[in-house]
Amino acid sequence: MQKKTDKFLDKLVKKDYNNELEKVLEKKYFNENTKSILLSILYKIETAYQDYEMVKPNIQSKEEFMQTIINSIQNNCNDIKIVKLNAKEREMLGNKTFLVEKAKKRIICYPIERKLLYCISKIDKKESIVKEKYVILHKTLSDLLNVGNNIDTVEPMRDFNGYSWTTLPREIESICHNIVYQNIRMLVGHEFLEDWIKNREYVIDYLESFKNRLGKQYGEEQQQKLTEILNKLSVLLAVRYNKKLKNELQNEKKEIETKLAKIEDNQEFIQEVSNEKRRLTKQIKQMDETLNNRNMLQKEYEKRNQYLPVQEKIFSVRILSQMMAKEREEKIKKIEKLNILLNPQKFVNYKKELEEKEKYLKLLNKKELEKEIGTDILKLQKIFLLCYQTKIKKADTKVELMKLIYEFRYYCLIPFNDKKSIGQIEQINTQMQKIQKLLIKKAQELKLIDNFSDEEQINYEILKNIFYVRVINLEDLYIKLMKEKDDYYIQLFDDSAFEEKIAIEGIGNLNKKDLSFKMNKKVKIFN
């Protein structure tokens, strides 16, 4: 992690990121079109990042963000091929818009800047960032966090252009991954999440640290509910969006079911384990005899090479000796695992582990997958909102509260599906209103916002719109209340520009005593 002193110095000395990227590109064999697109991506991010930081507080600094992109291009991209939309090269991608080959450090992509940035983020990721002891979840949770972070990386360029903030759901690679990732980020902070995704400290069990952090901040009950729904969603989303991982899980499911079926007949299982031990022990004995007898080793060398293609032939007897020593070691490890199964207590633990795997693998049988994911995403929001309410109650300064107002405004405008944002979802409307009222009340207590009416409902109906307006700087926001015939409307202004008229419902017929400001007059919202 970058030290605080380094971050401070970065701010004092303004970096020329385009120049830094150009130096990296000089050493790459990319064509001029590819280099031009990469430089354009960096320029657009740098132009938009100030607005992005304001709209979405508690994120990476621009310095960290830009450097991560440059480092990924430098260290992970040996070949970036931009495919022309009308060329035969399209066959390389099939029905995909990009292809990332990590082993070859190669990206193949259409000339779409946000897709290429997604690829640059994707190629930088470690496949597994969750410890293997978490069985199925070490694959599915890793995939969930990595995909979510890739989408998050694209956001500054995708939704910001230097003067406005617009989110088009169709441009988000996966709305579901994005919602889950943003939920996690807002609850535990971007720094912890960045450390986890980059796996900066390999020895740390980040999933355990994640649970501890949730429990400490929001209570053990909410921690357990949250992690359980995240675990389930990680499997469902992997099945829905990751074909390769889905196939791996299906194969693992068959293997687990076979093992559990054998375990049911305890006597047969023990007999099978004992037979496997004897077989491995016999093989190790034969290998020892061969390794200690030069003639036998020579015969083994000739025997193996006889059936191998030229490119795979064993180079020498010495190499064969090393290979067999390694094979021997692997067989010994298998015997050690089998010995554990013959220990009654260890056997119980082994069975529990298989059953835990099976619990998640049963999700592969879900028929209405989209519906199941939608239901669980909604459940996650309900838990998230309970946790977020706790977060607000702990805020006691103007700075903290202003960040929370910005953050919750951002949350309300996250796309929930192709047509609606989270703030428009009826099933969580009551919880959303409760949090918005809490934020407004605390803001007025801290003199951050003036009281627009002594009537709580009127005050709320006027001010709730700050959570749905897409102006960049909320502190520059003005409001005007108007009456047309029997209906009331408000307009929100950012400098000289204004949002469309918004009807206010549920406040009855107002009189001057109900308001602490004049109608038909622009009034600043934040002090």
CA 520 to chain centre: 45
Place of tokens 């729904």: 229
490 in helix, strand or coil? strand
Tell me which residue range forms the domain holding 512: 418-524
Q: Is residue 381 part of a domain?
A: no
Cβ atoms of 475 and 425 closer than 8 Å: no
* Residues linked to residue 478 through DSSP beta bridges, in sequence order: 493, 524
Show which of 81, 101, 124 is a domain's final residue.
124
Round to whole Å and give the CA distance between 204 and 189. 17
Judgement on whether residues 425 and 517 belong to the same structural domain of the protein:
yes
Helix (H) or strand (E) holding 441: helix 429-445
3-state SS record for 127-161: CCCCCHHHCCHHHHHHHHHHHHHHHHHHHHHHHEC
Q: Is residue 249 part of a domain?
A: no
Q: Is residue 316 part of a domain?
A: yes
Q: Is residue 228 part of a domain?
A: no
Q: Is residue 170 part of a domain?
A: no
| DSSP code for 83 | P
Strands (E), 294-444: none
Judgement on whether residues 330 and 446 belong to the same structural domain of the protein:
no
The amino acid at residue 208 is E
* pLDDT of amino acid 3: 45
Judgement on whether residues 1 and 120 belong to the same structural domain of the protein:
yes
For the four alpha carbons of 139, 416, 426 and 193, in that order, the dihedral sign comes to positive
The dihedrals phi and psi of 349, each to the nearest 5 degrees, come to -65, -40
Q: Is residue 274 part of a domain?
A: yes
Cβ atoms of 436 and 409 closer than 8 Å: no
Judgement on whether residues 423 and 310 belong to the same structural domain of the protein:
no
Judgement on whether residues 16 and 114 belong to the same structural domain of the protein:
yes
* pLDDT of amino acid 4: 45
Show which of 71, 97, 124 is a domain's final residue.
124
Q: Is residue 215 part of a domain?
A: no
Average pLDDT of each block of 10 consecutive residues along the chain (527 residues)? Answer: 46 71 94 95 95 94 94 96 80 87 94 96 94 89 97 97 93 97 97 91 90 96 96 94 90 82 70 85 91 89 83 84 91 85 68 77 86 96 97 93 97 96 96 96 92 87 92 90 85 74 76 80 89
Q: Is residue 477 part of a domain?
A: yes
Show which of 124, 148, 169 is a domain's final residue.
124
* pLDDT of amino acid 307: 80
Cβ atoms of 389 and 411 closer than 8 Å: no
Cβ atoms of 381 and 422 closer than 8 Å: yes
Ramachandran class of 126: left when φ > 0, alpha when ψ lies in -120 to 50, beta otherwise: beta
Domain count, the chain: 3
Tally of residues, the chain? 527
Round to whole Å and give the CA distance between 349 and 390. 37
Judgement on whether residues 310 and 423 belong to the same structural domain of the protein:
no
The dihedrals phi and psi of 368, each to the nearest 5 degrees, come to -95, 75
